[in-house]
Chain A
Amino acid sequence: MNTLEAIKEQLIDGQVEEVKGLVQAAIKEGVPVERILKEGLISGMEVVGERFKQDEIFVPEVLLAAQAMRAGMSLLEPLLLGAGVKPLGRIVLGTVKGDVHDIGKNLVGTMLKGSGFEVIDLGVGVPPEKFVEAVNAGSVAIVGMSALLTTSMPMMDTTIKALKAAGVRERVKVMIGGAVITQDYANKIGADGYAQNAPTAVDKAKELLHIS
């Protein structure tokens, strides 16, 4: 098994130290950083996402794989800029105002980062103004909103309206998700996308940005 395949396998297994060692070895071997990122780390997270979607693994396994991913990324990050490797896009995530649930949002952030996106996580209880501020800060491709409670859903509508009022709605794609969210609701409030789980959110994000 070559180093890149080994990185992929160890990442899938959530082996943090092994992934660090192998990424270090790959860098030393002179493997291009873009290949380490894509064929080692990202392709490993893709398998993790697929297995999670199929209920073959669950949240703890995804969290472990994400730790291995982060460990590998921490070694690659200083080298990526120099190698001209850019994130697929910048995504701003948050649980809307009035809601503190974040496990789903965190999983989405994990999978998006694992696929090569840059993720800015605004946290929980995020008011519309903060989403607008994040978009105004520049270069945001997608705004992702999460809510677990039905009573928090109207805040997604309010936030989209706030983006419109601030004149920045057209700059971004808006995605929503959460246990009580539906495609119908996404259509109703004019969101660009809805995803039922974290791996599907990655697919949808890529689809919205025309990334294969």
Chain B
Amino acid sequence: MKDGFLKRLETEVLIHFGSVTTELAKRGFNLGESNIGFMVEHPQIFQDVMKAFYAAGSDVGSANTGGANRFRLREFGLENKVREFNIKAAKMAREVTPASCYLEGVVSTTGHFLKPAGDVTFDEVYEVYKEQITALVEGGVDMIRVTGHDLEEMKAGLKAARDVADLPVVALVTFNPTARGYRTMSGLDTKTAARELDIARADVIGTICGKTGMEDTTNILKEMRSVTAKPLLAKPNAGTPEVVSGQPVHPVTPELMAREVPSWIAAGARIVGGCCGTGPEHIARIAAAARGKTKKA
């Protein structure tokens, strides 16, 4: 499975998911609550959302477990549910993932900064990720994605993924435009990120979410490509939302997103998708732009 997936990236462009959380929010999920808590309580809704993305053309699906590490679940008093929730989410996601597609187990930032700036150590973060990844692997995922903004925190995630299982590992970084180029909230720049994540043996490296627009994503990919030969991944959000009639509305339409896809591919992206605000219609257009033909839903 692993070699097959990475081999395909040498010649093909695969389509990632949009945002499961955004779609859940359209179906009764309150954005201020724990998304995995909602998914576990409403498996039908979670599975329907995943099916919609696969039907729209996604090849790589996300079990949407980014918030399900011990530190983040503690915010909701759910820290004792790490193992249970991650296994459940992975299994539910696996049930609706077509045989020709791949399922990603996701670990994301803990929300804490590493010492000395913050209050947690590399080893503590490593253990938190190891706990979560062990459960995801048991639940049957095909690969692990580590999302973050801090290099050391991400390295802890990559190390845990490598130590727990022999699966492909994807590393996605959240950048914002700043006066000193694209930086994460911790100050990590695109080239250092790409170089170091390559050295830390990520199989796929990319950019996700943040205040970056469609063209910013192309720029980030180019900067990453200048220092790494690894396949790249583009997963931008659909823009900062505005509230219209009580609902968040993201300004980047499916057409606007799809328009930039050829540039992402030219810049080195081998997997393309979207984050917050990206729905099945966006994915369908992205898939069409990537493959040059319309995919039937």
User: Which of A3-11, A60-68, A81-89, A167-175 is near enough to bind chain B?
Assistant: A60-68
Inter-chain contacts of B292 with A (CB < 8 A): none
Choose one: B30, B111, B113, B118; the contact of A98 (CB below 8 Å).
Answer: B30
> Using a Cβ cutoff of 8 Å, how many contacts connect chains A and B?
69
Is the pair A149, B31 in contact by a Cβ cutoff of 8 Å?
yes
Query: Which positions 51-79 of chain A face chain B at CB distance < 8 Å?
Result: 54-61, 63-64, 67
Whether a CB of chain A sits under 8 angstroms from the CB of B179 is yes
Inter-chain contacts of A149 with B (CB < 8 A): 31-32, 248
A100 to B113, CA, bound (A): 16
Is the pair A180, B241 in contact by a Cβ cutoff of 8 Å?
yes
Query: Which positions 104-154 of chain B face chain A at CB distance < 8 Å?
Result: 111, 113, 116-118, 150
A113 to B178, CA, bound (A): 25
Is the pair B180, A55 in contact by a Cβ cutoff of 8 Å?
yes
Choose one: B185, B187, B248; the contact of A150 (CB below 8 Å).
Answer: B248
Whether a CB of chain B sits under 8 angstroms from the CB of A154 is yes
Shortest Cβ distance from B190 into chain A, in angstroms?
A: 14
Is the pair A60, B186 in contact by a Cβ cutoff of 8 Å?
yes
A26 to B218, CA, bound (A): 53
Is the pair A59, B185 in contact by a Cβ cutoff of 8 Å?
yes
Whether a CB of chain B sits under 8 angstroms from the CB of A193 is no
Choose one: A60, A103, A125, A150; the contact of B242 (CB below 8 Å).
Answer: A150
A59 to B31, CA, bound (A): 25
Is the pair A152, B241 in contact by a Cβ cutoff of 8 Å?
no
Chain B interface category by residue count:
20 to 34
A103 to B187, CA, bound (A): 15
Shortest Cβ distance from B74 into chain A, in angstroms?
A: 10
**Nearest CB to that of A62 among chain B residues?**
B117
Q: A58-B186, A59-B187, A60-B186 are in contact. Are A125 and B240 (CB under 8 A)?
A: no
The B contact surface, by secondary structure, is loop
Per-residue interface assignment for chain B, residues 150 to 186, with 1 indicating a CB less than 8 Å from any chain A CB and 0 otherwise = 1000000000000000000000000000111001111
A23 to B75, CA, bound (A): 37
A64 to B31, CA, bound (A): 31
Per-residue interface assignment for chain B, residues 15 to 32, with 1 indicating a CB less than 8 Å from any chain A CB and 0 otherwise = 000000000010000111
Inter-chain contacts of B183 with A (CB < 8 A): 55, 58
Whether a CB of chain A sits under 8 angstroms from the CB of B243 is yes
Per-residue interface assignment for chain A, residues 112 to 139, with 1 indicating a CB less than 8 Å from any chain B CB and 0 otherwise = 0000000000001100000000000000
**Nearest CB to that of A16 among chain B residues?**
B116
Whether a CB of chain A sits under 8 angstroms from the CB of B246 is yes
Whether a CB of chain B sits under 8 angstroms from the CB of A153 is yes
Whether a CB of chain B sits under 8 angstroms from the CB of A151 is yes
**Nearest CB to that of B149 among chain A residues?**
A59
Choose one: B31, B118, B184, B246; the contact of A63 (CB below 8 Å).
Answer: B118
Choose one: B184, B187, B248; the contact of A61 (CB below 8 Å).
Answer: B187
Is the pair A103, B243 in contact by a Cβ cutoff of 8 Å?
no
Shortest Cβ distance from A50 into chain B, in angstroms?
A: 12
Is the pair B113, A60 in contact by a Cβ cutoff of 8 Å?
yes
**Nearest CB to that of A65 among chain B residues?**
B117
Inter-chain contacts of B150 with A (CB < 8 A): 60
Inter-chain contacts of B76 with A (CB < 8 A): 100
Shortest Cβ distance from A155 into chain B, in angstroms?
A: 9
**Nearest CB to that of B111 among chain A residues?**
A103
Is the pair A59, B113 in contact by a Cβ cutoff of 8 Å?
yes
Whether a CB of chain B sits under 8 angstroms from the CB of A179 is yes
Inter-chain contacts of A99 with B (CB < 8 A): 32
A149 to B240, CA, bound (A): 10
Is the pair B241, A60 in contact by a Cβ cutoff of 8 Å?
no
Is the pair B117, A151 in contact by a Cβ cutoff of 8 Å?
no
A123 to B30, CA, bound (A): 20
Per-residue interface assignment for chain A, residues 91 to 107, with 1 indicating a CB less than 8 Å from any chain B CB and 0 otherwise = 00000011110010000
A55 to B180, CA, bound (A): 6
Per-residue interface assignment for chain A, residues 173 to 198, with 1 indicating a CB less than 8 Å from any chain B CB and 0 otherwise = 00000011000000000000000000
A58 to B186, CA, bound (A): 6
**Nearest CB to that of A184 among chain B residues?**
B242
Shortest Cβ distance from A171 into chain B, in angstroms?
A: 28
A-B CB contact pairs (8 Å), 6 listed: A55-B178, A55-B180, A60-B186, A63-B117, A67-B116, A154-B246
Residues of chain B at the chain A interface (Cβ within 8 Å): 25, 30-32, 75-76, 111, 113, 116-118, 150, 178-180, 183-187, 211, 240-243, 246, 248
Given contacts A149-B248, A151-B31, list 9 more A-B pairs with CB under 8 A. A56-B180, A59-B185, A60-B186, A63-B118, A67-B116, A98-B30, A149-B31, A150-B242, A151-B243
